[in-house]
Amino acid sequence: MTWVENVVHVCMGVQPGERVLLITDQGLAAEQELLARAIKAVKPGKLVRWTLPEKERPLQTAPPEILECARTFDVGVQFLGTTSTSEQPYRFSLVNATADGGRMRFGVGLMIDQAIFENELSADYEEIAEITYRLYDFLTGKSQVHITSPLGTNLSFSIAGRQVAVDPGVIRQPGYYNLPSGECYVAPLEDSANGLLVVDKSFPGILIDEPILLTFENGRVVAIEGGEEADQLLRIIENGEKQEHGEGCRTIAELGIGTNPAARITGNVMTDEKVMGTIHIAIGHNAVAPYNGQNRAPVHLDGVMGDPTLVVDGVTLINNGEYLV
């Protein structure tokens, strides 16, 4: 299936008569055109297309008429080829309008390039949804998590009472979702993590050559060791610590499990955290739906590791990267 058919029919499930908002930046104008054609073929009630005005970027908010669409329409799709943290206020303005309206199924992809359209977004999302919901069923209601790996990870924490979340790619309920998709995730209790985490794949923007060792004590990272990439990570954390809620930068925020067999490790968190056979532990912000954690921080940093063994309440869920559910 082409990525266009995947996005319109499988992921978003656009139905005749639905009102659809379609947003890209100028770099993805050709892709916007392809999506618009496929959406029109479904005979939507309305299709509103919008291209981010390049000269005004980084944008601080979406225009009122676009926010109104996000509040009242049925489906939203946004793909940006480029964006940055300074454009977060714009992205949050759409997230908030979507939440306000409580109606729209909003699929969003950031830093999307041709390879992502052809790989992660051309995946078999029926299969991804199936494995993602199997993991969801297994994790729901569980408490004690223990992670090990051949490189020496030995980390324990609790997810007791926490809501498990999914990014299954087959989007049929209102809310804000990632495209590409393929992840099951949950926010650990903030003070519960103890042990060693060895991250060997990536952190956002950092492709890892020499593994980064993070030591957790009562939920917080107390030591970061490794090579050049460990130093890079430390600089990001120290920079975050100078900002509001900076004290939350070292606190555990997420356990995520990748479920997209077509996803690749590229240094882009949108693809890395989705890779089937990897898990990620994030530190930083999680006081936001659907994590619903309690930690505030100016950063959310996902550390992706390979070959994990994941044991939950004494039952092995993943053995050396192989999913047993």
Binding site for Fe ion (CB under 5 A): 185, 256, 273
Tokens standing for 27? Answer: 């770099």
Q: What are phi and psi of 31, to 5 degrees?
A: -70, -35
Nearer to Fe ion, 31 or 273 (CB): 273
Min dist. Cβ of residue 273 to Fe ion (A): 4
Encoded amino acid at 47, one letter: L
Secondary structure of residue 20 in the 3-state scheme: strand
CB of 146 to Fe ion, least distance (A): 19
Q: In terms of CB distance, is 240 or 256 closer to Fe ion?
A: 256
Minimal CB distance residue for Fe ion: 256
d(CA 291, CA 287): 7
Q: Nearest to residue 185, comparing CAs of 159, 161, 207? A: 159
Minimum distance, C-beta of residue 110 to Fe ion, in the bound complex (Å): 14
Query: 133: which 2 tokens?
Result: 């919901």
- At 264, is the secondary structure helix, strand, or coil? coil
Closest distance between Fe ion and the C-beta of residue 155, in Å?
16
* Helix and strand totals (H; E) in the chain: 8, 20
User: Which is nearer to Fe ion, 42 or 279 (by Cβ)?
Assistant: 279
Nearest distance from residue 82's CB to Fe ion, in Å?
A: 21
14 vs 165, beta carbon nearer Fe ion:
165
Residue (of 252, 253, 262, 209) closest to 231 by Cα position: 209
Q: Which is nearer to Fe ion, 221 or 282 (CB)?
A: 282
